[in-house]
Amino acid sequence: MADMIQSPIQAADAAASSPKMTARGVSVFYGEKKAVDDVSIDIHREHVTAFIGPSGCGKSTFLRTLNRMNDTIGSARVEGRIELDSEDIYASSMDVVQLRARVGMVFQKPNPFPKSIFENVAYGPRIHGLAAGKAELDVIVERSLRRAGLWDEVKDRLAESGTALSGGQQQRLCIARAIAVDPEVILMDEPASALDPIATARIEELIHELRGNYAIVIVTHNMQQAARVSQRTAFFHLGVLVEYGETSAIFTNPRETRTKDYITGRYG
């Protein structure tokens, strides 16, 4: 089945460069329970990849395998192989601290630290020793906030608490925090589901702008959002990757009836 899904994608990839991340035969267990079943997928550079599927189908679980956040859950166990630039990220030689600096993550609920706006963004660079001095740190913080489209709104109040911002601003702060360490891949788990339509539009715009520099993976329950922001879409169902391909193809001409049913809202 994996082959059947892979073949058309691999054909399309022949033109593009090698994938940024690849997953082969990945299964995830919580204790005895299998939450993700034998998933193989390629994540491409300078692409936005959307994961869609009904609630509980394992989107978040699979997303978290990509930066080993499942390691923080005691009962979770991952099988299969995941590579970042052809390097096995579950190999013992891979340092999880470095991996997470390269594969950043933005969560569903904005989770700024209870620190100042500046300190929120400076958190990663400080941990990874990216700035030699205060001046350099200032530059990184400003650049990250600019890229996250938040600079103009907060430049006069960098010392204020990050938790005092609005929900949408908090989420952009979290994106700024993630890109401050200059990651190569950004994982976003329903980044706009807790936001109002205007804030959501800002985030989508931002994802669009960031695509030039990063490989982005976004989990979403919103079909229109997937269609608007992504170039590739993966449809998950009951832990299985049902269909993966160009977003336009998935939405206009799905090969699987399950995909079609889900997209047209017949279940979900």
Ligand X SMILES: Nc1ncnc2c1ncn2[C@@H]1O[C@H](COP(=O)(O)OP(=O)(O)OP(=O)(O)O)[C@@H](O)[C@H]1O
Q: Which of Mg ion, ligand X, other proteins, none does residue 254 bind to, with CB < 5 to 8 Å depending on kind?
A: none
Rounded to a whole number of angstroms, the minimum distance from the CB of residue 105 to other proteins is 4
Does 174 engage in binding with other proteins (CB under 8 A)?
yes
194 is an interface residue for other proteins by CB under 8 A: no
Binding-residue pattern over the window 21 to 50 for other proteins, x denoting contact by CB under 8 A:
------------------------------
Considering only residues 99-158, where is the footprint of other proteins by CB under 8 A? 99-101, 104-105, 107, 109, 111-115, 123-124, 127-128
List the one residue from 18, 25, 56, 164 that touches ligand X (CB under 6 A).
56
Task: Round to whole Å and give the CA distance between 166 and 32.
Answer: 40
Q: What is the 3-state secondary structure (H, E, C) of 135-153?
A: HHHHHHHHHHHHHCCCHHH
Closest residue by Cα to residue 38 from 92, 7, 78:
78
Q: Which of 171, 176, 166 is nearest to 118 (CA)?
A: 176
Cβ neighbors of 238 (< 8 A, separation 6 or more) are: 37, 57, 58
**Positive or negative: CA dihedral 131, 174, 188, 14:** negative
DSSP state at residue 32: T
70 binds Mg ion (CB under 5 A): no
What letter represents residue 42's amino acid?
Answer: D
Cβ neighbours around 132 below 10 Å, total? 8
Select the residue interacting with ligand X from 58, 124, 162, 191 (CB under 6 A). 58
61 makes contact with ligand X (CB under 6 A): yes
User: Considering only 29-37, 64-72, 149-157, 203-211, which stretch makes contact with other proteins by CB under 8 A?
Assistant: 64-72
Question: Least separation, in Å, of the C-beta of 73 and other proteins?
Answer: 10
Using the rule CB under 5 A, which residue among 40, 49, 60, 170 binds Mg ion? Answer: 60
Q: Rule CB under 5 A: which residues touch Mg ion?
A: 60
